[in-house]
């Protein structure tokens, strides 16, 4: 964890990155994530690998990035409430959305 950042009881740092520092809209956010998926497929085109990358990406965003739009808040809430199997389903659905 970055120096000067404390952990909250929910496991998230108190200070998080604002998505608007990186992207300006939901479509731009989806485009950026789509680029990550394409790069993952270049490394290993298997669906299992791609799903794993998407899960890691959602986990990172959920833990470190403040939701900047209603869509991002919904994504975080669904991810936080889901068990392992539900998170896999959410990752697959996001992957379809990005394709």
For position 79, what pLDDT does the model report? Answer: 92
Task: Tell me the pLDDT of the chain averaged across its residues.
Answer: 78
Q: What is the largest CA-CA distance in the chain?
A: 39
Tokens standing for residue 60 = 């990172």
Q: Tell me how far apart the alpha carbons of residues 73 and 66 are, in angstroms, rounded to a whole number.
A: 8
CA atoms within 13 A on the CB side of 41: 10
- pLDDT at 75 exceeding the cut of 80: yes
- pLDDT at 68 exceeding the cut of 70: yes
Domain boundaries, the chain: 17-98
- Model pLDDT for residues 2-30, shown as the tens digit of each residue: 333 333 445 554 556 554 455 567 787 78
Q: What is the CATH number of domain 17-98?
A: 1.10.760
pTM above 0.75?
no
């Amino acid at each position: 964890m970055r120096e000067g950042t404390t952990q909250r009881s929910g496991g998230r740092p108190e200070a998080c990155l604002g998505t608007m520092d990186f992207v300006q809209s939901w479509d731009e956010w989806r485009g950026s994530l789509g680029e990550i998926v394409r790069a993952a497929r270049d490394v290993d085109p298997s669906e299992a690998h791609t799903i794993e990358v998407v899960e890691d990406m959602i986990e990172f965003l959920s833990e470190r990035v403040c939701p900047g739009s209603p869509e991002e808040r919904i994504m975080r809430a669904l991810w936080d409430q889901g068990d392992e199997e539900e998170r896999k389903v959410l990752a697959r659905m996001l992957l379809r959305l990005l394709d």
